[in-house]
Structure formats: C-alpha cells, structure tokens
Structure 1
Amino acid sequence: MKKYDVFVIGSGMAGMTVANKCASKGLKVGITDELPYGGTCALRGCDPKKVIIGATEVRDSAMRLKGKGIDTVPVVNWRDIMAFKQTFVDEMPPKIEKGNRHNDIDTYHSSAKFLSKNTLQLGTDTIEADKIVIATGAKPKVLDFEGGELALTSTDFLNLKKLPESVLFIGGGYIAFEFAHIAARSGANVTIVHRGERPLENFDPDIVSHLVAATEDLGVNLVLETEVTKIEKIEKGYLISGTTNGNLNQFEVEAVFNSAGRPPAIFDLELERANVAYSNKGISVNKYLQSTSNPKVYAAGDAAETGGLALTPVAVMEGHVVSSNILMGNSKEVDYPPMPTVVFTLPTMASVGMTETKAKNSGLEFRVNYDKVDDWFNARRLNVEEYAYKTIIDKNNGTVLGAHLIGPHCEETVNLFAMAIKTKMTVNDLRTMIFSYPTLSSDIPYML
C-alpha cells in the first residue's frame, strides 16, 4: 500500500491546482486520471473549441463585410483547422506530467474506486491518503432511450476528421449552440432538437431571443418542445425520432450528437464505501469544500455540488480553496465573486450577475435597461444585426446588479461588467470613465 498526505482524483484545472499547491508546501502528493492529463477544458472543451471557432470567425466577418470592402468569403478547411487545434491538445498531457515530476507528484493513469474512508483502489495499486480530493469533472449525460448509445459526444465532435454533411444536436444548451454555429459555418446542414419551450434556459430570455434569431438566420433548424425518443442506424446515417406535442417528428442525418447536459463524473467511484454523500449534482460539500459526511474528502470543480458555475476559472478558484483548507486547516470559506459566463456562438452571448427574474425575487428596488442597438456605430462598422444589452441597476445605490449582452466581442465586455459588480462601481463611476474609442467597451456608459 502506498501512502500520501494528499491524493487527487482528476487532472483538470481543479485537480492540478490542488496537487501543485500542496506539493509546493512539502506534502507528499499523488494524482490519477484514466484519461490523458489536462481535463476537459484543455483537451476536450473550451480550448480546442475556441481554436476551431477562430476559423469560423474569419468566415463570419467576411460574410458580413462582403460588398463593404471584402470581395471573397473564405471557406473553412476542416482538416486544416482540426490539425491546428490538435497542436494545442497534444502538447498539454506531456507538459502537465513533466510538471508533476518536477514537483515530485506521483502520477497514475487509472480509474479510482474507494475501498474505505481514506483508501482507494487504482488498478493493482492500493492507495491510502490523509486527504482525498475528488476533482473528476463532468461527462456527457447518458441518453436512456432506445439507441441513445449511438449518439456521439462533444469530444467526438472536436475530433471529427471530416465534418458530416448533416448533423443533429440533442439538447438546447451552450454546447449544442456553439457546435451548431461551428458546423453551419463550416458547411454542414444543422438541426438542434430541444425538449423545452426555449433554449439556453439559464440565460436572460430577451437576450436569448436575439441568439435564436441569429442562429435561424445562419440556417440552423431549431426544433423546440420536442423530446427525442429513439435513434436508429440507417443506410446513410441515423433516423432520430421525437415527439412534438404528442406527434411523431423524425429527422435523417449523417451524425447525431449528445449535447443534453454533463452530470458530474462521480458515479463510478464507489462513494458509498467511503461514506461520501452526493446527489445528481455532485459531492455534497460544506463551505470549506469538504465532504459533509467524510472529513477526509474534499471536492472541487464540476464534481462538487457548490454555488459556483461549471466553469474553468471557478474550478481553479475552488482548487485554491481546497488547497488552503488542507494546508491550513478549514479556515478559508468559498466565496464566489460575480461569475461571467459566455456562449461562444457568433454573435457571442454573455451574462454576469443577476438576471431580471432573480432581481425580482431578491426584493431589491431596481431598474432595467434593455435595447437592441444594431444602429450603434460599433454594430454598423461590423455590419452586425444582433447587438443588444440588458443591464439591471440597483435604484438605491446606483450599482450594477447584472449585465446580459449579445454582440461582437461581448465575451470581453462582460468582464468589465463583472469587475464593476465585484467592486461595487456605481453607474456614475462607469459613465465618467474615459474608455478608449472606438472600442466595444466604450459602449458601456450608454448601456447604463
């Protein structure tokens, strides 16, 4: 049996943060991952996705400016962009493992299962640790209808050697929309099937309506209030069956992708043996990110049921909280600042702080500014049709409670709103700032 001060399950950003911080303070640390080291974001999510989007941004910009200075619209070369993407992915696992060796972190490549409150089975190795950190992230939801196993995953999409001529995404969340935009701009016929009345349910509905319009203008077939019930393999691809208001609705496509959600990847860990309480949303933790039922276990990132969003920067922050509490005793409570979240479609949609619904339920006195501003200079110079904002302002102290945006580069603008909310800058503070001009952020004072 091998013994450690700290053993980490999962090599994503939360797990890496804990392992390296604890090792840097002299603790004996081990880490394992059954997949290549780096986690979802670096290998199967945010980073490779953003590299691929880069090519579609060029095409989108050229399409909008055709006849306004651009004559030729480029075509996305799928093979080349995937090869470029792979250069980022391939360099990560060896880089991370080299860092582990440098920091004297023992590295394993196996799934882990609990044997008791502080012991794990890793293949043929038995591990005992004073503290065990669960940072296993999330994985695609199991589709429990007939043929559900035939659907490909987001990982498969990011590794397609050739883009199918027609694709269907099951689910109406950010993964479905981001990949639909990539596929449509790269030449595929795209369908999104969502069971709810509206997609992207966690975002402001008024802003989402602009993204829906832009998505349909792109040629994506958006099918709502439809529950997929069956996937069948047919000669030229797949037949997807669903019910729309009780009526059968069928789609024939070359490839179908499961983008119906990502539950925490914790259900194969034999948590009952360790008396680790959990729900469908993750490991149950207290304000120190320690298991509510087993003090030897901590959890961070998508594997933990916390007040944080399932975002990479949040996982990093939680990793630092866990590290501090392992090293110093439970002295650091998790405290979430405003968490901006982005849907990397084109146009981009971004959100931070309170939604209008949450503001209404808070009891605060507030006002709402909401407008479509495709006639503003920044929209006209880029020839964009969907540029809109909704800001929520506290009437009593003039601070920003929330900001919801759609339009060019709002993934950057939203960070300034996040800073304003965190520092409690007032509307007057923002209006009297001098922003560089003409930039997208120079529109902020007019959104207040």
Structure 2
Amino acid sequence: MSIQIPRGTQDILPGEVELWQYIEEKAKDVCRRYNYQEIRTPIFEHTDLFQRGVGDTTDIVQREMYTFEDRGKRSLTLRPEGTAGVARSYVEKKMFGQANQPTKLFYNGPMFRYERPQSGRMRQFVQFGVEAIGSSDPAIDAEVLALAMSIYAELGLTEVKLVLNSLGDKESRDAHRQALIDHFKPSISEFCEDCQNRLEKNPLRILDCKKDRDNPLMETAPSILDYLNEESKTYFEKVKGHLDVIGIPYVVDPTLVRGLDYYFHTAFEIMAEGEGFGAITTLCGGGRYTGLVEDLGGPSSPGIGFAFSIERLIMALKAKDQVIPASPKLDCYVVSLGEEAKDKTVELVYNLRKAGISADKDYLDKKMKAQFKAADRLEARFTAILGDDELANGKINVKDMATGEQVEVNLEEFINYLKEKTVGGN
C-alpha cells in the first residue's frame, strides 16, 4: 500500500516553491527597511504556553491544537500561531533589557491547527508575522499597519483594504463585557454550545462565532466603540491620525473581533476586495496586546503584531493574475560527446559552479540530441558542447540559446568567458 501525504498538508514542488521564495524575500525586504529582525522559535512548545498565552476560551486551544506527550511525560504542542512563542523568547532571553527598544521582530514558518481542510485553510500552513514589543506609543501601531500594507503593495496587490477597530483598555473591555453578557444572556439558549460556554468567560468571542453569525442578536450587540473611555478613544484617534498623515487608507468596523484573548486597543484585518477571492477574504490579522509578556513572567511590555498565511496570499495573487517574475534560468548546460569529454564535464561543471555560474550536465548517458532537449527544458542561457576531438584540441563550443550564435572558446578561457557573459554581464 502506498503512503500518502496527511490530510491538510501539501508538497510544494519545484516550479511552485519559487513563488513562495519570492513572496518571503519581498516580505523580509520590507521588514529590513522597517528595521525588524528575524527570530526563529521552536516548532513545538510546552502546551501551557498556548493555554496561557492564546487563551483557554479560544477555538485554537479548545479544539485545534496538535498536542502530544513526549517520553518524559511532558505535554507539548505544535505551535498553532507565532506570537506566544515570540513572547516566550522575549521573556526567557531577556530581550527587554536590550538597549534598542522596542524590540522589533519578524518570523516565517509552519504552524499547525486541526481544522477542516479547505481552500486557504490547511492543517499545516506557513505564517509570516511581525511583532513590536515594548512600546505603548500609537505611532508603533501605525508603523506595523503600514508595514503590513507595504508587503501587499510590494507584491502588486492593490485591491485590499485595511479594516480597523479598537478593543479599548481593560476598563473599557470590562464595561463592554458586561454589556455583552446583559445583551446575550436572555437568549443564550438560542446559541451554540461554545457561545453558551463563552458567555461568562469571554463574551467578546461570541461576536466571532461562525455558527451563530446570522442570529439577529449579533447585529444589535453593543459596540465596543460606545464603551471606550477617554484614554482609549484618544489612543484610537492617534492611531488613525498617524495613518491619515502617512496616507494609509482604512475603514473602521466596530464588529471586528480578533480570535485571541490577549488583544487590547488596536485590532485590524487586511481584507481582499474584488472578484475571484471566494469566501475567505481575510488575508492578514493582528492587533495590540497587553498582559501577554507579564503572563509569561516578564515585565510590563505591551506589543503589537500581525500574521498572514502565505497560502492565502498566493491564492490572492493567483486570483488577480498577478505577474510574478520568472525564476532564474540555468546559466549553462554542458553537453558531452565521447567518454573522455564526459569525464571532463564533471570538472567543468564543478568549476562553473565554483565561479558563481549555475550549471548542469547529463547523468543518464543520453545521446547528444537528448542532451540538447534537456538544455531546452531547463531554459539554459548557454549550452557548452564538448566532444573528444574538441577536448584534444583544448577547445569548447559555446552556444547562446537566445540568439543561436555559437563560438569556439579555448578551454582554459571557458570559465572566464562564461563568467563575463552571466555573472559579470547579467
């Protein structure tokens, strides 16, 4: 019986992986310009980190985590999101003590959630995320939002919109929490079991329920914006003011709720607009968090961040027929004719690669015609032809595959000749 890939995972093959690399490099370049540095955290962490950091009332913790017990009887979990692990590292490695603050980080790697696989939603997926920890300045919120929007702009995705909301500070959230309880409690039996369990623990999560989103009480639920105290209102106005100054357009949506427990003040999503995106239009989400670092044993260190799925971003690019630059072609394919020439190509290909030239050769004893076909399939810029006679005379023929021009070059000058044509001349 053949072994197949697990459900909800995927193989990213040559020809497709170049698109992933292009996206990741674009995102990393934007982060570099904003002075964010890369961090790499473990793929699995102690389960308690996510229970405390993400929140035990969230769907992620309640039903989506891949949790297992290791041989030492420790409960470990494959990371379902990136922020908790970054915050843990921030505390454990005492990054709060570094001279340059706030600590500005980005990450890129696989995450794991046990969900029903569908287009744009995998059980193993890749997230690119950003965290800025250690500042309560509304300007850092605007910077993070601008960074996220810049990534989409760099990739040519213009049909996106930034949707904002404020979840307020603790005082504002407590007031809104009680208003939500009073609103939903008389009819809570109409809602799903999850919502009933969330009523007292975290009623804000009811607004994020997919099963009951069409219930009429959802539309009439109290808005957080009506419960913001003066400090929270001022904070939100400053964030919007900064975005106005730098020219980042946005839409305020008082119903926007992020699915994790640690969010306060600014919450946001970047949504896809236009045709072709299907039912899943959220490309990116994030917000400001308070208390997460403290819950993990660190000092008071507010933060803000976002994450987006590479898979979902690729869907958006393909839906808009966004042109992605072609991957680099092979510089040179070396064709051989004769046993001595074949042996010599081993050395030639090695020296080409050593000189910074991408090169390949035949390893299947193909006829000369089949070797040329291989060079065509690999879209080689140049084909170098070496036969036993040429080898005896210290010569090699080099063909420009674009123009068809072919020249004879001294073997001892071959590497420098090709280097000038490729690495030097681009």
TM-score normalised by structure 1 residue count: 0.25
Answer with 1 or 2: which has the greater Rg: 2
TM-score normalised by structure 2 residue count: 0.26
